[in-house]
Structure 1
Amino acid sequence: MRRRDFFSIGAAATGAVALGTLATGVGAQAHSTAETTAAHTGRKSQIVTSDGVTLRVRDWGVGKPIVFLTGWGLPLDFWHYNFIDLLDEGMRCVAYDRRGHGRSDDPGTGYDYDTLAEDLAAVLEMLDLTDVTLVAYSMSGGEAVRYLTKHGNARISRIVFLSSTAPCLMLGGDNTVGVPGAMLEGAKALMAQDFPKWLKEGEAAFWLNAASLEMQEWGRELMLQTSLPALLACYDTMIRADLREELKKLDLPTLIVHGDKDASTPFALSGARIGKLVSGTQVKVYEGAPHGLPITHRAQFKTDLLAFARG
């Protein structure tokens, strides 16, 4: 299998009727914005962790909370399209920029799963969130699992592993289903040499032509905001983690969502294995879906996530 198959990251209206429709839409949007602003008075836009790192947070909507954890190299902005779907359904949507990502602090340390799990704990505690549906995308499955094994599920009612990189990526020892370390290290060397080029070359596999060229460019720009040292350190954390024993300890409703065309982390390497380690899981494999599933299969994911969160 080629190296880039793994971790490829990649009318104006006229006339009185049209103008009338536009005006109605603007009025409805203004009303909705006013209601949302009122509901958000006093909400935090930043959280400070136990080691003094400031994390940018977005906490929108009212109702049952869904906390979205970002994938490797992505800021919280990646979730905005999913937010607007779920806010209309009466859900509360929360996300934050992982340290070194987006507009959070980049302290140069703390990119291991233990620290990242404590960052998640700080967000949950400062916002006093309970009965949470936790959506862990890609790399963030590791920080979600580490949080649950360290803090329990008093605040978390259910978890979604979305295109996850868990449980154990690197081949070796008793992990006979994985990627050779030399291949993973080779990808890291290419990133360190020319990350924009590496990202552009892997774009097609990430999206599989299921997103517009403009959307693909937007996604690439989001990842280019990430601190390169933080990105490489998080990559190390992700490829070296072995979460198999921790996953066996999970005891809460679990949904696995994965694409059957995910070249970044194939289902057989990740989602299928999580389903065997965590008892009582629901598994949904999306036909034709790549790693960029939250965007490319947005409507399908909305339906499944809502059904699960309201369960």
Structure 2
Amino acid sequence: MPNVTNGSVEIHVEDTGGDGRPVVLIHGWPLSGASWSNQVPALTEAGYRVVTYDRRGFGQSGKPADGYDYDTFADDLEAVLEALDLRDASLVGFSMGGGEVARYLGRHGQDRVHSAVFAAAIPPFLLKSDDHPDGGLDLATVESMQADLRKDPPAFFDGFMTGFFSAGDDLKVTEAQRQEALGLAAQADPEAAAQCIAAWVSDFRDDLAKVTVPTLVIHGDSDGTVPLEVSGQRTHEAVAGSELHVVADGPHGVNVSHQDEFNRVLLEFLAK
């Protein structure tokens, strides 16, 4: 289908079509909408209309010099929903994509939204500081990661994707699956990817306070990238009535490592 445009930036969209209830899948860093390849067939088989898109700077979307903040990301998501006239949609955000879900709901409201899913997602507030000592990522680490990425993107992505799919020292996917993810990462603009790292420590607490639609939180208990205790557990506590599913021995990339469990839990939630 034609790309969706927000301002001057083209957002690459894939839409399975059909008259089923729409499910919008929002990918993690540094991947693209293609990272949902283990979920799209299961969702379409269950009768849903599935929409994926590439975040600006990633995959086949436009790669502008700036605009890598969550207000802009949420506006990109709004542009996709409006262009496709999606209503009664379920928004599923993985990792960084969970930030889009939270900020979209906080910034644009819930009129188009049926339900929300936060999968291994970064909300409510990853920043670790004197004012927020329970966070998981301090600014010095953010700056160090940005510098390392800018210095040698392939090496940085290689190490990152190993941790992404590992529980402790154990890689929970095949090497072929890890390489597939690295191939998606290679499509990202390195500067865009570096700027996004700073966005990870955005504060989504006010956004989550506005969420009243049915919400699922799914997170691996061995996620070394976005720890359950810092993010998933706290998002569950922040959204009244939300459901929490913890994947035993699940790394960050739990939608790949534990595909069957992830899909089962997601489909059961969407069917409610």
Higher fraction of helix: 1
Structure 1 residue 69 displacement after superposition: 0.5
8 A Cα contact 1:45 1:59, kept in partner: no
Say if 1:61 and 1:90, in contact at 8 Å, map to a contact too: no
Amino acid at match of 2:10: T
Contact 1:65-1:94 within 8 A present in 2 as well: yes
Note if 1:220 corresponds to 2:182: yes
Q: Specify the SS of the correspondent of 2:14.
A: strand
Matched, 1:163 2:120: yes
AA of the residue aligned to 1:270: S
Report the TM-score when normalising by structure 1. 0.82
State the secondary structure of the residue aligned to 2:216: strand
CA contact (8 A) 1:259 1:288 kept: yes
1:297 aligns with 2:258: yes
Say yes or no: does 1:193 pair with 2:154: no
Structure 1 residue 248: Cα displacement = 1.3
Q: Does 1:105 align with 2:62?
A: yes
Structure 2 length as normaliser, TM-score?
Answer: 0.94
1:264 Cα offset (Å): 0.4
Distance, in Å, in 1 between the alignment partners of 2:118 and 2:97 is 9
Q: Cα deviations across residues 193-213 of structure 1 (Å, max 9, x unaligned)?
A: 112112222333221222111
**1:184 paired residue number:** 142
- 1:114 paired with 2:71, answer yes
Q: Which residue pairs with 1:148 in the alignment?
A: 105
Deviation at 1:60, TM superposition (A): 0.6
Partners of 1:45 and 1:58 within 8 A in 2: no
The structure 2 residue matched to 1:238, chosen from 190, 194, 200, is 200
Aligned residues between the structures: 266
Q: Counterpart in 1 of 2:246?
A: 285
* Alignment deviations for residues 121-155 of structure 1 (CA, whole Å, 9 cap, x no partner): 01001101111111011112222211111211111
Structure of greater Rg:
1
SS in 1 for 2:218: strand
**What SS does the corresponding residue of 1:256 show, helix, strand or coil?**
strand
After superposition, where does 1:41-190 map in structure 2 within 5 Å?
A: 44-49=1-6, 51-62=7-18, 63-178=20-135, 179-190=137-148
Residue of 206, 209, 221 corresponding to 1:260: 221
Unpaired segments ≥5 residues, structure 1:
1-43
Query: Aligned partners of 2:160 and 2:55: how far apart in 1?
Result: 23
Report the aligned-residue RMSD. Answer: 1.3
Cα 1:250–1:306 shift into 2, 3 Å? same
Give distance in 1, aligned partners of 2:174 and 2:17: 28
Moved more, 175-184 or 110-119: 175-184
Query: 2:165 aligns to what?
Result: 207
